[in-house]
Amino acid sequence: MRRTIARLRGNSLVELVVLVAVALFLALTVQAYAIKPYRIPSGSMEPTLAIGQRVIVDRLTHRLGDNPSVGDIIVFNPPAGADAEQCGAPGQGEDTPYPCSRPVSRKSSETFIKRVVAVGGDTISIRGGHVIRNGREAKEPFIARCDAGGDCNFPRSITVPKGYVFVMGDNRGESDDSRFWGPIPIKWVIGHAVVTYWPPGRIGTL
């Protein structure tokens, strides 16, 4: 009888170990291929996303071929040197500046989070922090006010290349984004943010 009980306990322990291992494997697989939590590192997406806020990033739909659309908030690898605002096009010092039209060819290992404001084939310029896409001012009630200055005005239009997206932070006066280092290839996109889950007072969809 004692041997039977010991054997049952041993089997239960093995079963528990296997169950934990399977659960851990599934959790890691889901995080690697489907969803991943992400912490907002800066104020570039305020007021939509605050520093320290947490979001869930959907990685699966992008892997299955769903390309970003205008309005999506995405996590991506920026061009190498993005933190130094390296632009692949001239013109930033001109009297009538225009947004950077192409990035450097190498991607960074960093991850940024921004909003898609234009996709391949769109023409884009920026006036007073507002996007002018294909000749029309976009409706952007979510952005922070952008005071007068060079970062808020790029009145000359550029065309976003096919296979790329142009991204900007909602805090237009305090965001390093495609205006300065160009649109990003869709293949550099990691996924799009779908839900904010922390802090509890800001739980909701994006």
Q: For position 27, what pLDDT does the model report?
A: 42
Same-domain status, 20 and 105? no
Catalytic residues: 44, 114
DSSP state for residue 73 in the 8-state scheme: E
pLDDT at 61: 78
What pLDDT is attached to residue 95?
53
172 and 95 co-located in one domain? yes
The low-confidence residues of the chain, meaning pLDDT below 50, are 8, 18-31, 88-93
The pLDDT of residue 86? 59
Same domain flag for 16 and 90: no
132 membership: H or E segment, kind and range: strand 130-133
Note whether 15 and 98 are same-domain residues.
no
Give which of 112, 144, 118 is closest to 131, Cα–Cα: 118
Residues 44 and 110 in one domain: yes
pLDDT of residue 105: 75
Range of the domain at 6: 1-33
Report the pLDDT value the prediction gives residue 171, as an integer from 0 to 100: 95
Residues 25 and 82 in one domain: no
Do both 25 and 95 map to the same domain? no
Residue 60: predicted pLDDT: 79
Instruction: For 162-192, write each residue's pLDDT tens digit.
Output: 999 999 999 998 898 999 888 999 999 999 9
Question: Do 60 and 141 belong to one domain?
Answer: yes
CB-based contact 26:169 (threshold 8 Å): no
Burial (CB count <10 Å: 0-12, 13-18, 19+), residue 35? middle
Query: At 125, which CATH number?
Result: 2.10.109.10
The reply to whether the predicted model has a pTM over 0.85 is: no
Tell whether 98 and 28 lie within a shared domain.
Answer: no
pLDDT of res. 100: 82
Q: Are residues 29 and 43 in the same domain?
A: no
148 and 62 in a common domain: yes
Do both 20 and 84 map to the same domain?
A: no
- Is-contact 44 175, C-beta < 8 A? yes
Tell me if residue 8 falls in helix, strand or coil.
Answer: helix
Structure confidence at residue 91 (pLDDT): 43
Domains identified in the chain, total number: 2
pLDDT of residue 5: 52
